[in-house]
Amino acid sequence: MTFLITAGPTREPIDPVRYLSNHSSGKMGYAIAAAAAKKGHRVILISGPTILNVPSGCDLIPVETAADMSQAVGNWISRVDVAIMAAAVADFRPVEYQTQKIKKTTETDMMTLELIKNPDILAEARSIHGYGGLLVGFAAETENVLHNAREKLNRKKCDLILANDVSQPNEGFNSDQNTITAVYPDKEVELGSHSKTHLGALILELCEDFVRR
């Protein structure tokens, strides 16, 4: 099969030296990509900025912003069997990009930054691109994890949401460990707490089993 996997953060520039981003390392998405490539699947890995090595056998498409990632996903999604949206895409970007570095002044102690919503890449898979393959999303939550994950599954028309509590110490963002619950329309399956490498293999198996049904 052909997999499209998004991974890592996006960076939304404020000026030439500053940007908005998040704590995503890309490790979870890269682990799934590595597991899929190892099983012989073709993998299109659309990644925001990370320090990770590209897994062997994956075709990397590097991107910077949410708009870049949205465009890359739109270019590829009609050609894949499975789309796994593991990237932590910035929800907002600055309305205006300042072409010169914003300088600190003595006249004020505050600055207001006006933001606008970014494209919702996961939701657009069905609503804009009409994607008919297996659609998998992630829900990185800090409270009401399963409730929020199920709401996301229904609202964005996913087949599967992988939920994790990023408020837990030493798990989630920037960690090699994660605890994931797979949320389906009709059930929930605890994958448990494991290394992201092991979870990548488990998630791949879930996707393969889903497609074989």
The pLDDT assigned to 166 comes to: 83
Q: Does domain 2-97+114-212 have CATH number 3.40.50.2000?
A: no
Q: Is-contact 16 101, C-beta < 8 A? A: yes
Strand partners, 83: 4, 135
The pLDDT assigned to 134 comes to: 98
The pLDDT assigned to 172 comes to: 64
User: Dihedral of CA 70/66/68/42: which sign?
Assistant: negative
Specify whether 164 is catalytic: no
Q: Is-contact 10 21, C-beta < 8 A? A: yes
What gap in Å lies between CA 8 and CA 54, rounded to an integer? 12
Structure tokens at 39: 């099983």
**Ordered DSSP codes for 5-65:** EEESB--EEEETTEEE--S--SHHHHHHHHHHHHTT-EEEEEE-S-SPPPPTTEEEEE--S
The pLDDT assigned to 169 comes to: 73
What are the mean pLDDT values of the chain's consecutive 10-residue runs (213 residues total)? 98 97 94 98 98 97 98 98 97 96 86 95 97 96 93 97 85 82 95 95 96 84
Tokens 């994890």 correspond to what residue? 145
